[in-house]
Structure formats: structure tokens, C-alpha cells
Amino acid sequence: MKKQFITAFLTITSLLLFLSSANTDIKLVSPNDTIVLRAGDDTVTVVFESLRVPFRPADYKTGDTIRFVLQDTTGGKEFLHLLAPVDTLDLRPADTVIWVSMITLADTVLCKFVFQPIEPASYFIGLLRTYAVFDGFDTGKSFAFTYCDPSDSNLVSLCSEFRLDSIAGNGDESARIANLLHWVHTTVRHDGNVEVPQGYRVADFLARPPEENRGVNCGVLAEIMNEVYLAAGFKARRIICLPYDTSDVDCHSINAVWSERIGKWLYVDPTFEGTFRNARGEYLSIAEVREAMVHGDSLVINDNLNWNGRPHDKAAYFRYIAKNLFRFAGMSHSGPASGKQRTTMFRVNLNPNGYDTAHVGQTDTTGHYTDNAAGFWAKP
């Protein structure tokens, strides 16, 4: 206990010295305190211990005053210690929810974050093992996946306008897939707080000048990646990866791109430029990544894993993906975001055996439900 205290003291002392050297004001606050920080050209950080939420002063006018209002719902347990400013919000709750609101002087809520207790990766792996089987009770006859042909006028235009053949290059199939992934990842910035309206055109995001610096959420980024792959001649799908907890709205969208050479879908994450390989160096599918987690097999995450150009911690990514590989969803048709076929397509939800069994085989306003993994991951 004494050693842990000394380590924590040294960590806080180092942080204080760092912030002091950066000519910043240090503020220590207690739960329910209000912190007034000046936006504009300054970069602000509200720091706890573990999770990080960016506060971007560029989102506000110079001279705006922002109040961070912290509501402690843990019954007064002393675990909140706040340092400011830098550029992130770090929080590790004890066992309940913390509400954090950023409010202007006019009392307009700009943003609200809800933090749940942080579960380790082993917790989510345990859920995957408990629900490891997709037994195919639903035959899958109620759904079939279709893919837009590269000759579609929208795809032809996209391929020509952005010279996708040149971006993909003349290497082997894996290299072309990786080149297109890198291009989309570096061309469109990720911002999970942005909601994009229906009917958007992928080309509009790809054509934005860098100085605009506007991002898109992971769902739109996966749609952009999907359309680029389709335009370049690959079969591809956007896959929504969902957690066990239906109240957890933090899901993640990635892509499955079909490899003719290997004969399977490959895992591609345009938000983090992420891929997985096994111990033999073979690229894995989304289903194979889930199975490897269940069986404890070696998983190799690519070394250039990053978020908007910043190196991203592999352990944090592994935990995040383990949480969100519990169940899946995908649209029955894969095509341009603004294509006509989108009016007739529907969502297919893949649940493991024993989870939400009342829905399996049924179709309602949220789409079709199945436990038939073979049908969901069928060859295009």
C-alpha cells in the first residue's frame, strides 16, 4: 500500500511539474465543483486517471467561458481529483455513473458524457466464451446479401474522380486492400461526436480540403471505406460490431472486404487503420478474430495502429474490440451511400446462440435476426 501511495504521489508530482513548465494554471477540485476554463486559442484538459475525452477549444468562439459540471453519483467516495488544463478528460469511476456536462454561460448544454465503470478485457472475453456458438437455428432463407457492381455509375464516378486504381497500386491483392485502407484513414478524420445527415455523398468527404479538418463518426467512415472498396472492384460490407449490453451505445463500425486469393472476408478498421493477423502472419476475418479471443489464440495487431495519425495503444484497442465483437449487424445490400438500392435494403442482426433468442428468425422494424453465422458471413 505504501509503495502504491509513493508511486501515485510521484506520478501526480511529475504531472504537476509538467503542467507548471507548460505555463498552465493548476486546479484541484472536488466532486460537484464547477470549473470555469477559457476557450479560444487555449487547449484545455480535465484529467482524472484513465479514460480520455477530448475538449477542442476550436469548437467554441474565442472568449467563450465553459463550465465543466461534475456530478458525483458514487455517494461521496473520494476518487475524483482534477487537474487542468491540457487537452483531455480522464476518468476512472469506482462503481457507478458519472455525468459530465460542458455548459456555456447561457446554460446551454454543449456536450454530455456518461462514464461507466471500466471492465478489463478479460471480462469481455468471458462474455464471448459464454456465448461462443452461432448454431444456425435460423436457416438464413429470410435474408441474402447483395453487392453493387463496380459498373454502377456512382462507383465508376468515384473510381475515376479519385483515381482509386492508382491509389490501390499494382501490388498483390493484400497490398491493394491495405493501400486503400491507408488512403481513406488518412484522408478523412475520425470524430465520434459528429452526426452526419442521411443522403450524404462519399465523394463530398473525400474531396474536402485538409484545412476544413471536419471529421465523421466510425459509421460514416466505414461507409466511405466500403464504397471505395466497391468502386475499386472488391466485394465489401460495413459491419456494425455491438456489445453484450444493449444499454451500451458505444458500438463500432468496421469493414469486411472479400479476398479472392485467400477466399475469406478480411477484418479492416478504417478508424484506427487496424487489422489482425494470427501467429503465422495470416490476415484474419472478423469471425476469426472473435474465435481467437474465445480460444485464447495469439492475435497480432498491426504496428501502425493509430487514431488520426496518433499511435494508438494496442491493449486499449484489444479491449475495445473485445467488448464490441459480441454481436453484429450489416445491411442486406452493400452499395453507394446515396444509391437507389438503399430504399429496399434492410438490416440483418447476427446474435450468438442463447442471446435474445426470442428475436432469432424474426423480422421487425429493426431488421431480421439470425444466429446463422454461416449465412451472415457467406461468400459473396
**CA–CA gap between residue 101 and residue 69 (Å, rounded):** 5
Residue with the larger pLDDT of the pair 234 and 16: 234
DSSP annotation of 50 reads S
Q: Where are the domains of the chain?
A: 2-118, 122-376
**Confidence band of 157 (pLDDT split at 50, 70, 90):** very high
Mind listing the pLDDT tens digit for each residue in 237-254? Answer: 999 999 999 888 889 999
Least confident of 92-106, 115-129, 334-348: 92-106
Residue range 111-126: mean pLDDT, rounded: 73
**CA–CA gap between residue 332 and residue 222 (Å, rounded):** 16
**CA–CA gap between residue 316 and residue 11 (Å, rounded):** 21
Contacts of 51 by beta carbon, 8 Å cutoff, 6+ apart: 89, 90, 91, 92, 115, 118
**CA–CA gap between residue 114 and residue 299 (Å, rounded):** 31
Contacts of 321 by beta carbon, 8 Å cutoff, 6+ apart: 241, 252, 274, 289
Residue with the larger pLDDT of the pair 139 and 312: 312
**Confidence band of 144 (pLDDT split at 50, 70, 90):** confident
Hey, what's the torsion of the CAs at 132, 137, 140, 142, to 10 degrees? -130
- For the chain, the first-to-last Cα distance in angstroms comes to 57
**CA–CA gap between residue 142 and residue 363 (Å, rounded):** 8
Residue with the larger pLDDT of the pair 36 and 346: 346
**CA–CA gap between residue 213 and residue 219 (Å, rounded):** 18
Is the pLDDT at 12 greater than 70? The verdict is: no
Is the pLDDT at 85 greater than 60? The verdict is: no
Q: Backbone dihedral region of 345: left (phi > 0), alpha (psi from -120 to 50 degrees) or beta? A: beta
Given this model, what pLDDT does residue 192 score?
Answer: 83
Residue range 107-127: mean pLDDT, rounded: 71
Residues 48-68: b if buried by 16+ CB within 10 A, e if exposed = beebebebebeebeeeeebeb
Least confident of 105-119, 182-196, 316-330, 355-369: 105-119
Measuring CA to CA, how many Å separate 166 from each of 159, 226, 255, 266? 10, 18, 21, 22
Q: Which residue, 201, 190, 93, is CA-closest to 153?
A: 201
**CA–CA gap between residue 214 and residue 370 (Å, rounded):** 37
Given this model, what pLDDT does residue 195 score?
Answer: 73
**Confidence band of 15 (pLDDT split at 50, 70, 90):** very low
Given this model, what pLDDT does residue 186 score?
Answer: 94
Given this model, what pLDDT does residue 8 score?
Answer: 35
Given this model, what pLDDT does residue 105 score?
Answer: 55
Find residue 46's DSSP bridge partners: 89
Among 44-48, 86-90, 239-243, the range with the most confident prediction by mean pLDDT is: 239-243
Residue with the larger pLDDT of the pair 340 and 308: 308
| Amino acid in the structure at residue 188 | V
Q: Which residue, 124, 61, 121, 71, is CA-closest to 93?
A: 71
Q: Mapping DSSP to helix (H, G, I), strand (E, B) and coil, where does residue 175 land?
A: helix
Given this model, what pLDDT does residue 135 score?
Answer: 83
Show the DSSP H helices in the chain as ranges: 2-21, 121-130, 153-161, 164-168, 173-187, 202-206, 218-231, 286-295, 314-324, 373-376
Given this model, what pLDDT does residue 235 score?
Answer: 98
**CA–CA gap between residue 282 and residue 16 (Å, rounded):** 45
Least confident of 168-182, 213-227, 320-334: 213-227
Sign of CA dihedral 12, 14, 16, 18: negative
User: Residues of the chain with pLDDT > 70: what percent?
Assistant: 64
Mind listing the pLDDT tens digit for each residue in 177-221? Answer: 999 999 999 999 998 877 776 677 888 889 877 667 678 899 999
Residue range 123-151: mean pLDDT, rounded: 88
> 461462443: which residue's cell?
132
Given this model, what pLDDT does residue 67 score?
Answer: 61
| Amino acid in the structure at residue 322 | A
Helix H or strand E segment including 234: none
Given this model, what pLDDT does residue 247 score?
Answer: 80
Neighbours of 366 (CB within 10 A): 11
Neighbours of 29 (CB within 10 A): 16
Least confident of 83-87, 224-228, 284-288: 83-87
Given this model, what pLDDT does residue 50 score?
Answer: 42
**Confidence band of 61 (pLDDT split at 50, 70, 90):** low
**Confidence band of 357 (pLDDT split at 50, 70, 90):** confident
Q: What average pLDDT does the structure give for the chain?
A: 77
**CA–CA gap between residue 42 and residue 15 (Å, rounded):** 19
**CA–CA gap between residue 183 and residue 206 (Å, rounded):** 10
